[in-house]
Amino acid sequence: MPVHNADLAAAFEEIADRLEVEGANPFRIRAYRNAARTLAELPQEARALLERGDDLTRLPGIGDDLAGKIREIVATGHCGLLDRLRSELPPAVSELLRIPGLGPKRVSALYRDLEVQTVEQLYRAARDRRIRALHGFGETTERHILDAVRAHVSQPHRVQLAIAARPAERIAAELRRVPGVAQVTVAGSFRRMRETVGDLDIVATADAPDAVMRRFTTDGEVAEVLSAGRTRASIVLGSGLQVDLRVVAPAQYGAALVYFTGAKAHNIAIRRIAQARGLKINEYGVFHGGERVAGDDEDSVYRSLGLPWIPPELREDRGEIDAARAGALPQLVELADLRGDLHTHAGAGDARHGLRDMALAARAMGFEYLAITGQARRPGLAGGLDAAGLARQGEAIDALNAELDGITLLKGVEAGILADGRLDLPDAVLGRLDLVVGAVHDGFHLSRGRQTERILRAMDRPHFTLLAPPTGRLIEPREPYDVDMPRIIGHARERGCFVEISAHPDRLDLLDIHCRMAREAGVLVSIDSDAHAAAELANLRFGVGQARRGWLEKNDVLNTRPLAALRPLLQGTL
């Protein structure tokens, strides 16, 4: 089975995790994490680069040793270092690291001091109140661990949208190449742009279903064929992701798309509308008695119900049907509407590309501007920026702006929000910048009241521009911190500052419900990549998907403005 970039990235992340549990050199650990991120965002498969003889050490953060390990994994499917690390620690340690709130250091302490090796043992230790006695834990942390274990065990396995995108788009492209195939769409939660995906649902039309099924079930990534009929099949990929295919007649295609795209609640709602109109709706079409009256495309299905077509991202039964009836569906923002990115990193901290690389990549995407917002210096962050570093970066930005046409770099910083609401750089320094991104970097378990007041005080700082990411969550590893988002959004409106959707696949934060809250409050949202390398600018499409799920239109998004209109907004904060 071929090795993909996601497999390489996962191997390097696991190596980093296990090295950290063992207390290895932090620089060595960081090297594996940086390499994992480089591989995850690499637009071409590393194995393809190797096949044509490319030098992998030209990739950011990849030296001779890491390049050798990439070659080893691509050639054999294994990594000797990872195999050794797995033999030194129980295999279940990897699952412990997926529990929200349990980083490698805490897993190490639990393993060393309580001999916790499995999720079940972790649950028993928390239940029996043995964790609170460990140094650095305490009663509150123990309670959070217990809650996180319960949630982890009860939830079905889901994968991040960006991880699911690669096999989804690859398989769809392969099926489109089968002779006689007319249409292929990946439906389900993937099409609704949900932040995580349980499985993939593909709908296709074809002259010869047998050829499509044969191609689908013999895909090189297939680990198991669960079922294979003439018009439907299910497979499990080597990654563990299940993919279901349905081949339908062209006259049924629209009905099948509606059926396999909408959330269950949305589908129930439109079925009730059909029943009230004397119709029957299912995956094969819309029927009046025995006559099919709609179903060849989605528009015909919704039109038969007296509704306009509803964008896939809205099909959650969250008011979209009432809005459709009232002619009030939003004209959702598109990726092409973005004029720039207001949160990126270049040449400092853990950034892996320099200013020029990032500027050229942004210009190639058609952007008019790009904000460089390296992180302010703080403990544990190598290469963070202090006042002198920001000044040097500003000079480099000025020089590049004088040289390059078609793109303008903006000067910014990602400043940490301290426990008392101050930012970790002085106002005199922040005042020289085009924008200041404020972010919570620690204290995630503060009470709701303290966390909220901390952020509100930060937003009152004279040069605060943008809250990013607003809830601090990492999908799976870390739940959002407890914060009063209505108060935060209300204060942003009063203060004249903005909130961000981080398009990074690990975050997709602002949450979709809070996007809609911001829209209703008149607070502009910035869709940003938090890119640390040029390839990561492509993640903006996932941020746009989150914005669309939050009902955002072009005018609701800060960075759809041209630069001339953006500058007064950035300068209009107190």
* CA distances for 122 relative to 17, 101, 141, 298, angstroms: 18, 13, 13, 48
Please return the burial class of 263, using the count of CB atoms within 10 Å of its CB with bins 0-12, 13-18 and 19+: middle
Range name among 349-358, 379-388, 445-454, 529-538 with the lowest pLDDT average? 379-388
DSSP 3-state helix, strand, coil percentages of the chain (rounded to 5)?
50, 15, 35
> How much is the mean pLDDT over the chain?
91
Per-residue pLDDT, 149: 84
**Mean pLDDT calculated for residue range 360-371:** 97
Average pLDDT of the segment spanning 155-169 = 88
Q: Name the pLDDT band for 125 (thresholds 50, 70, 90).
A: confident
Residue 121, pLDDT score: 83
Average pLDDT score over residue span 62-76: 93
pLDDT > 70 in the chain, percent: 96
Residue 160 has pLDDT above 60, yes or no: yes
Q: Which amino acid is at 215?
A: R
pLDDT confidence of residue 348: 62
How confident is the model over 509-524, as a mean pLDDT?
Answer: 95
Residue 374 corresponds to which tokens in the numbers above?
């390296």
Q: Which amino acid is at 41?
A: E
**pLDDT level of residue 154 (50, 70, 90 thresholds):** low
At 295 the pLDDT is 95
Q: Which residues pair with 498 in a beta bridge?
A: 466
Q: How confident is the model at residue 91 (pLDDT cuts 50, 70, 90)?
A: low
The CATH number for 335-571, chosen from 3.50.50.60, 3.90.79.10, 3.40.50.720, 3.20.20.140, is 3.20.20.140
pLDDT at position 574: 43
33-45 mean pLDDT: 86
Give me the mean pLDDT over the 563-570 stretch: 96
Whether the pLDDT of residue 136 is over 90: the answer is no
- For the ranges 6-10, 16-20, 113-117, 307-311, the maximum mean pLDDT occurs at 307-311
pLDDT, tens digit (0-9, with 9 covering 90-100), for 175-209: 999 999 999 999 999 999 999 999 999 999 998 89
Report d(CA 349, CA 384) in Å as an integer.
5
Q: What is the mean pLDDT of residues 20-32?
A: 87
Domain segments of the chain as ranges: 5-154, 160-325, 335-571
Residue whose structure tokens are 């809005």: 323
pLDDT of residue 383: 62
DSSP-H helix ranges across 158-297: 161-176, 188-191, 209-217, 253-261, 264-276
139: pLDDT strictly greater than 50: yes
- Give dist(CA 308, CA 429) in Å, integer: 52
User: Phi and psi (nearest 5°) for 179?
Assistant: -55, 135
Range from 1-5, 99-103, 126-130, 543-547 that averages highest in pLDDT: 543-547
Q: Which CATH class is domain 160-325?
A: alpha beta
Going by C-alpha positions, the residue among 223, 208, 211, 222 that lies closest to residue 171 is: 222
Q: For residue 145, is pLDDT > 50?
A: yes
| Whole-number pLDDT of residue 56 | 92
pTM: 0.81
Distance CA 307, CA 108 (A): 56
Distance CA 421, CA 484 (A): 15
| Identity of the highest mean pLDDT range in 44-53, 316-325, 362-371 | 362-371
Q: How confident is the model at residue 357 (pLDDT cuts 50, 70, 90)?
A: very high
**Residues 6+ away with beta carbon under 8 Å from 373:** 342, 343, 344, 345, 412, 413, 414, 435, 437
Please determine, for residue 334, whether its predicted confidence score (pLDDT) is greater than 80. yes
- Helices 387-403/355-364 angle, 10° precision: 50
Give the per-residue pLDDT at 106.
86
- pLDDT attached to residue 114: 85
Read off the pLDDT of residues 503-515 as tens digits, 9 standing for 90 and up: 999 999 999 999 9
Give the residue-averaged pLDDT of 391-405: 94
| pLDDT tens digit sequence for 431-488 | 999 999 999 999 988 888 999 999 999 999 999 999 999 999 888 777 788 899 999 9
* Residue 156 reports pLDDT greater than 80: no
pLDDT value at 381 more than 70: no
Q: 181 by DSSP, 3-state: which?
A: strand
What is the predicted pLDDT for the residue at 382?
55
- Identify the CATH homologous superfamily for domain 5-154: DNA polymerase beta, N-terminal domain-like (1.10.150.110)
pLDDT (tens digit per residue) in 240-274:
899 999 999 999 999 999 999 999 999 999 999 99
